[in-house]
Amino acid sequence: MPDDDHRSAGLHGAETDATYDRAGFGAAVPRGSRPALVVVDLTRGFTEPGFASGADLTREVTAAAVLTTTARQHDVPVIYTAISFTPAEADGDSCAWLRKAPGMRALREGSDEIALDPRLEQHAGDHLVLKKGASAFHGTSLAALLTGLGTDTLLVCGATTSGCVRATAVDGVQSGFNTLVVREACGDRAQGPHDAALFDLQAKYADVIGLYDALAYFDRLPRRSTAVSLA
Residue 96, number of CB atoms within 10 A of its CB:
9
Within a 13 Å sphere around the CA of 126, how many CA atoms are in the beta-carbon half? 19
Alpha carbons 9 and 6: distance in angstroms, whole number: 5
Alpha carbons 195 and 86: distance in angstroms, whole number: 33
Q: Which of 95, 157, 164, 186 is catalytic?
A: 164
Note whether 93 and 153 are within 8 A (CB).
Answer: no
N residues, the chain:
231
- Cα–Cα separations (whole angstroms), residue 107 to 40, 83, 84, 93: 14, 6, 6, 15
Listing DSSP states for 82-96 in one string gives EE-B-HHHHHSS--H
**Bridge partners for 179 per DSSP:** 154
What strands lie across the sheet with 127-131, from one edge to the other? Answer: 127-131, 78-83, 35-40, 153-159, 178-187, 207-209
The verdict on whether 157 is a catalytic residue reads: no
**Bridge partners for 79 per DSSP:** 38, 127
Catalytic residues: 164
